[in-house]
Amino acid sequence: MNLFGNDCSSQHSSMPSEDDILIKKLLLTHDPDGRRLDSELLLRAMENVLCYAAASQVCGFHIDAIAKDDVSDIEVVGSQETLAQIIDRIKIEMLRKHSGKENLHTRTMILFDVLGNYRWDVKAVLTLAAFATTYGEFCIIMQEYPYNPLAVSVAMLKHLPLNLWPLKPQFKALSFLVRTMIDVTKCIIKFEGLPFRYAQLDDETMVIAKSCIYVAAYWVTRSTVACTSQIRDLKAMKPEQVWSHSTLIAAWELSSLAYKLSSICSHLRRQVDLCHQQMEEKMHQKLLKVFQEVHPDNQDVLGILLAAKDELPLKNSSTQDKLGVSEMKGKVVLLLVSKAELLPQEGLLLLLDRTYDHPYHKKLEGSYEIVWISISDTWTDAERDIFNFLSNSLPWYSVRRPWVLYAAVVNYIKQEWDYKNVPLIVVLDSKGMVSKSNAMDMVFIWGATAYPFSTSKEKELWDEENWTLKLLLDEIDPLLTTWVEEGRNICIYGSDNLDWIREFNATCKVIRNAGVQLEMVYVGCKDLGEQVRRLLAIIDEELHKSLFSFTKLHFFWLRLESIRRSKLQLGQSIHSDDHILKEVSALLDTANEGWAIIGRGNTTDIVKLSASEAIKWLDRFPEWEENVAKLGFVSALRAAIDPPPPPLGPCNHSEVVPYAEGLTEETVLCEKCKHPMKKNVVYE
Say what the pLDDT of residue 54 is: 56
Say what the pLDDT of residue 9 is: 42
Per CATH, domain 298-453 is 3.30.2130.30 = no
State how far the Cα of 394 lies from the Cα of 405, in Å rounded to an integer.
Answer: 21
**DSSP-derived secondary structure for 111-175:** HHHHTTTS-HHHHHHHHHHHHHHHHHHHHHHHHHTTT-HHHHHHHHHTT--S--GGGHHHHHHHH
The rounded average pLDDT for each run of 10 residues, N- to C-terminus, in the chain (684 residues) is 43 60 90 85 80 52 47 77 88 75 82 92 92 77 62 62 60 82 92 85 89 94 87 62 57 84 92 90 89 90 78 80 87 92 81 80 83 90 89 88 87 92 92 92 90 92 89 84 87 89 90 89 85 87 84 88 90 77 87 83 85 89 86 87 68 64 51 65 73
Say what the pLDDT of residue 177 is: 87
Evaluate whether 519 touches 490 at the Cβ level (below 8 Å): yes
Query: Do you find a cis peptide bond into 452, omega within 30 degrees of 0?
Result: yes
Say what the pLDDT of residue 160 is: 60
Query: Would you give the distance in Å from CA 149 to the centre of its chain?
Result: 50
Say what the pLDDT of residue 318 is: 75
Specify the pTM: 0.76
Say what the pLDDT of residue 649 is: 60
Evaluate whether 87 touches 108 at the Cβ level (below 8 Å): no
State how far the Cα of 472 lies from the Cα of 559, in Å rounded to an integer.
Answer: 8
Evaluate whether 444 touches 557 at the Cβ level (below 8 Å): no
622 CB burial (10 A radius; 0-12, 13-18, 19+):
exposed
Say what the pLDDT of residue 461 is: 92
Say what the pLDDT of residue 623 is: 87
Say what the pLDDT of residue 243 is: 46
What is the number of other CB atoms lying within 10 angstroms of the CB of residue 464? 6
610 CB burial (10 A radius; 0-12, 13-18, 19+):
middle
Say what the pLDDT of residue 63 is: 43
What is the number of other CB atoms lying within 10 angstroms of the CB of residue 349? 17
Say what the pLDDT of residue 576 is: 73
How big is the CA angle at 271 (ends 265 and 275), to the nearest 5 degrees?
A: 135
Parse the chain into domains and list their residue ranges.
23-67+79-284, 298-453, 469-641
Number of H helices, E strands in the chain: 25, 11
Cα dihedral: 412, 417, 422, 426 (round 10)? -110
DSSP H or E run through 45: helix 39-57
Q: How many CA atoms lie within 13 A of 107 on its CB side?
A: 25
Say what the pLDDT of residue 60 is: 37
State how far the Cα of 324 lies from the Cα of 302, in Å rounded to an integer.
Answer: 10
Listed in sequence order, the residues at least 6 apart from 441 whose beta carbon sits closer than 8 Å to its beta carbon are: 562, 563, 565, 566, 569
